[in-house]
Amino acid sequence: MIRRRSNDVCWCGSKRKFKKCHGEFVAPLEPLRPGRVAPPRSVPDDIERPWYVRDGDTRPDRASVQIIDDPDEFARLQHACRVAAEVRDAVGAAVRPGITTDDLDEIAHHAYIERGAYPSTLHYQHFAKSICTSVNEVVCHGIGDDRALREGDIVNVDITAYIGGMHGDCSATYTVGEVSMPVASLVETTREAMLRGIDAIRTREPLAVIGRAIQPFAYSRGLGVVADYGGHGIGRHFHAAPHIDHVIRPVTHVAVEGMTFTVEPMLTAGTPEHHEWDDGWTVVTNDLLPTAQFEHTVIVRDGRALILTA
- One-letter amino acid at 123 equals H
Could you read off the pLDDT of 182-231 as tens digits, one per residue?
999 999 999 999 999 999 999 999 999 999 999 999 999 999 999 999 99
Find the largest Cα–Cα distance for the chain. 60
Tell me the mean pLDDT in the region 276-292.
97
> Which of residues 298 and 24 earns the better pLDDT score?
298
Q: Which of 201, 249, 228 is nearest to 1 (CA)?
A: 249
Residue 59 has pLDDT above 90, yes or no: no
Under CATH, which number does the domain 60-307 receive? Answer: 3.90.230.10
- Residues ≥6 apart with Cβ < 8 Å to 121: 127, 129, 130, 131, 132, 158, 160
List, for residues 95-106, the tens digit of each pLDDT value.
999 999 999 999
13-17, 114-118, 156-160, 294-298: the lowest-pLDDT one: 13-17
pLDDT tens per residue across span 270-280: 999 999 999 99
With a threshold of 0.85, does the pTM exceed it? yes
Q: pLDDT > 90: what percent of the chain?
A: 92
Residue 210: its pLDDT value, please?
98
19-58 tens-digit pLDDT: 899 998 987 778 999 999 999 999 999 999 999 999 888 7
pLDDT digits (tens, 9 = 90+) for 247-262: 999 888 999 999 999 9
Residue 15 has pLDDT above 90, yes or no: yes
56: Cα within 13 Å, side-chain hemisphere: 0
- Whole-angstrom Cα distance, residue 293 to residue 210? 15
Task: Please compute the mean of the pLDDT values over residues 145-150 and round it to a whole number.
Answer: 97
CB 91 within 8 A of CB 149: no
Mean pLDDT of 227-239: 97
Residue 178 has pLDDT above 80, yes or no: yes
Give the Cβ contact number of residue 240 at 10 Å.
20
Residues of the chain above pLDDT 70, percent = 100
Cβ(18)–Cβ(222) below 8 Å: yes
Residue ranges per structural domain of the chain = 60-307
